């Protein structure tokens, strides 16, 4: 649960997931509509299974991995989706 301001507005974890879904969906549809790109790429930490599952729902696929990609020393996956 996240509180904003003085605790008047409360956003539940499920609401954040829904907002994330709509945000990614909007961005991908916008890019497809504008025709500016043939693919979309992003990075995520290799152990972040919830993020991997989320992106795979949109059609992203792991195309490469990078060791010690982040300053923290964490590994990364590069994901790509054809638009």
Query: What are the mean pLDDT values of the chain's consecutive 10-residue runs (83 residues total)?
Result: 46 74 87 80 93 92 96 95 86
Would you state the pLDDT for residue 11? 55
Rounded Cα distance between 20 and 55, Å, is 10
Would you state the pLDDT for residue 10? 54
Rounded Cα distance between 19 and 2, Å, is 13
DSSP 83: -
Rounded Cα distance between 32 and 26, Å, is 10
Question: For the chain, which domains are there?
Answer: 2-82 (3.40.630.30)
Would you state the pLDDT for residue 76? 95
Displacement of CA 55 from its chain's centroid (Å) = 6
Would you state the pLDDT for residue 1? 41
């Amino acid at each position: 649960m996240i509180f904003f301001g003085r605790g008047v507005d409360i956003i539940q974890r499920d609401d954040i997931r829904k907002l994330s879904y709509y945000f990614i969906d909007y961005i991908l549809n916008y890019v497809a509509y504008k025709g500016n790109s043939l693919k979309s790429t992003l990075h995520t930490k290799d152990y972040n299974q919830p993020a991997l599952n989320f992106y795979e729902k949109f059609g992203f696929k792991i195309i490469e991995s990078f060791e010690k990609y982040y300053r923290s020393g964490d590994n990364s996956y590069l994901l790509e989706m054809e638009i």
